[in-house]
Structure 1
Amino acid sequence: MRIKPVGGSGDIRIGKSSFINSGTVIFGGNGVDIGEHVLIAPNCTLAPTNHAFSDRETSIREQGFLPSKGGIIIEDDVWIGANCVLLDGAVLRKGCIIGAGSLVRGEVEAYSIQSGNPLAKMGMRGER
């Protein structure tokens, strides 16, 4: 796991008994809040920041960053599969599961199982 303080001044908080696997990169950006008992599989990217790009006459690198969409919030007992990307404004509610290779941009319902790009609900934890 690597932590990079890029794109803002947000804090990174990791709750007790959470596990972040190898190859995962967390950018500080607008902040990342990881709850307790969270599992993050290998090679995920948590990027709570957005480059500005509206001025064609200025390089993207020189334009800096857009205002925050709230950072990234991961509540307790969440499982994030391998190779997922979480962007600024992602809110993963308690107990949800994110399938491998997914892109998360907004709010994910508690205890839901979601996967893909675009993210789609596949079911709910505890359903048969």
Structure 2
Amino acid sequence: MIIIHPDARVSALADIEDSVRGTRIEVGARSVIDSFVKIKPAGGNGDLVIGERTVINSGCVLYTGQGLRIGNDVAIAANCTFAPVNHAYQDKSRPINQQGFLPGKGGIVIEDDVWIGANCVVLDGAVLRQGCVVGAGSVVRGEVAAYTIVAGNPVRQIGERH
């Protein structure tokens, strides 16, 4: 079930798949889903709920997995991935893509007034508390305290010594 508030703006170039398992995908008032955003119900029965006045920029991928809740006034930069799901891989006698999924870690919760920089990956079990900032290129898999800044993964400059 896909529920888009009449005051939300979803690009015609966004791709929101409807669930065959009853997963709810909801976009709140005055939120923006930019072009080339992919929303895919996969890996569980969790819902995706996006609050009000939240902006998800181009190239982001959001899986529903064990659930993804994004609060109000959240800014998500381009090319971020939200994966509240984990593939099973332990059975060496079967290909990974035939093993299904591991038990969830509670999905992903992003509270109000959070800024997530470009090219971040947010994994199952992550909780981003109110007002935190996640720097570009970060991988988040646990809790980020309220009003904390998480630095991205630094890249060395050409010619920089190790």
Name the SS for the 1:68 alignment partner.
coil
Taking the aligned partners of 2:60 and 2:47, their CA distance within structure 1 comes to 17
Q: Which amino acid aligns with 1:58?
A: R
Q: Give the corresponding residue for 1:50.
A: 86
Determine whether 1:82 maps to 2:115.
no
How far does residue 116 in structure 1 lie from its aligned partner after superposition?
Answer: 3.2
How far does residue 77 in structure 1 lie from its aligned partner after superposition?
Answer: 0.1
Taking the aligned partners of 2:88 and 2:47, their CA distance within structure 1 comes to 21
Larger radius of gyration: 2
Number of residue pairs aligned between Structure 1 and Structure 2: 118
Determine whether 1:94 maps to 2:125.
no
TM-score by length of 1: 0.90
Determine whether 1:6 maps to 2:42.
yes
Structure with greater proportional strand content: 1
Unaligned runs of 5+ in 1: 118-128
Q: Give the corresponding residue for 2:106.
A: 70
Name the SS for the 1:33 alignment partner.
strand
Identity among equivalent positions (%) equals 64
Which has the higher relative contact order, 1 or 2, with Cα contacts under 8 A spaced 6 or more apart?
1
Unaligned runs of 5+ in 2: 1-36, 154-162
TM-score by length of 2: 0.71
How far does residue 20 in structure 1 lie from its aligned partner after superposition?
Answer: 0.4
Considering only aligned residues, what root-mean-square deviation do their CA atoms show, in Å?
A: 1.2
Taking the aligned partners of 1:116 and 1:81, their CA distance within structure 2 comes to 8
Taking the aligned partners of 2:151 and 2:123, their CA distance within structure 1 comes to 15
Deviant stretches of 4+, over 2 Å: none
Taking the aligned partners of 1:39 and 1:9, their CA distance within structure 2 comes to 25
1:48-77 CA deviation, whole Å, 9 max, x = no partner? 000001111111011100001000000000
